[in-house]
Structure 1
Amino acid sequence: MIQHVCLCERGCRRTINQDRAGGWTDGDTGLFFVADGIGGHFAGEKASGILAEELAAWWGSGRHMPSAQAAEQLQQLIDRGDARIRQQTPPGQRCGSTLVILWITGGTYALLSVGDSRCYQTRRRMFGAETMQLTTDDVLPDTAGPDRGKLSRAVGAGRCLVSVRCGELTSGTLFTLCSDGIYKYCDSAGLHNSLAKARRTALLRQAAGEIESRVLARQAPDNYSLVLVRPVL
């Protein structure tokens, strides 16, 4: 069994929501994602929407695959989504999306990411819990001058190089997928406290509400998406 909860909201200042997020479960198998359409470019919501469509279609037939085969097919899915976005983008325009995917089955997980949407893992430790970021932000370094902090990789724009990480599940682990609209506007201490509580109590919706309240207290200047996932082993 896998518990999960999802938020995908426009925020307080944006006129449209360019994020897409969601998940599906079947017993001990689950597929979860966050896609954040690139703001300031052509139809970011179209890019994230294409990725959401590809994942929903794949889930229909892919959820019974072994973990290694599924991870390989999900990489191919990202390549296919990248090609679709590029084909549907008018000449001279730039359209793309970040993407983070979590696949869970049979006591193992696979994590695929492009861009700066993140996945955190919260695990039990002797004195409480520890939260660590499993993904790496694909952004230009501070040495890049005026372009520092901009995306260096995205699906549909620039280079689409997929980072892949696999591992075994441990009892009581909580995974958190989120767009930058969450981690940029929710203080780290508050975020980690809410995640530690969610891992311990399994009250995922309550934790998601706490995190959302912190983002809204900062006037939620960006779209924000959050998916909390807790496998029950």
Structure 2
Amino acid sequence: MSYAGRERPVPELDRTPPYLQVVHELRRRIVDGELKDGDRLPSVRQIAEDWGIAQATAMKALAALRADGLAQSVTGVGTVVRSRRNLHRSAADRLERAVTTGKIYPDNEYAKILAAELTVPPTWVADLFELGEGVAAIRRHRVTYNEDGPVSASTSWFTPDLATTVPALLETERIPGGTPNAIEAATGRRGVAAEEATAAMRATEQQSEELGVQVGDPVSVGRNIYFDSEGGIVEVGESVAPEGRWKVHRHSS
């Protein structure tokens, strides 16, 4: 579906440079799946009219999306979304989708749950959950795919008490609405914020097999924490994506 077929209020401009505001808004729509791979982005003229900016500024915004690998010029069509090979959705993005839409993945992505078990977590996870030495936690490990193949591999960790209250966490089936909504339904605890740290590393043997890269290839690793309204930790996770995938972070006040 083309951009022209969507009706959406245009945000007011603030002190951020106008072209960056356009870039951030269009990136957000791509991350959220509102604009899918192959969808037509607004034209230079349309952007200029909608945001009240010069056409040269609008051209700069589309050029930035092309430079990021999220868009491509197509003769006779215009600028279209090209995100399948270059976009990696962050933990904050997936949390927001889960709590606002009931869906973690856009239509062109899906996940395979490879493990769902009680096992002793790594030290950094145990410390965050304040678990004693040797105490097991719930581990869910998955690989996310799109039409081209693996997008990312990720592991989510949960406190062991949820094995009783949310037994679906220990099943290798996708949970309708995602784990945040399942935990909220069972406990009343709602994930409202996410903190994420990222680092560049080298692919391990397991990551090589799951992502289709070579051992030692560069990968982007993110560690995330989901918090509830009381500041308690709902979920701790780690995700790995091949090099060349952009992760978009959004901040709200």
Relative to the length of structure 1, the TM-score reads 0.26
Report which of the two has the higher share of strand.
1
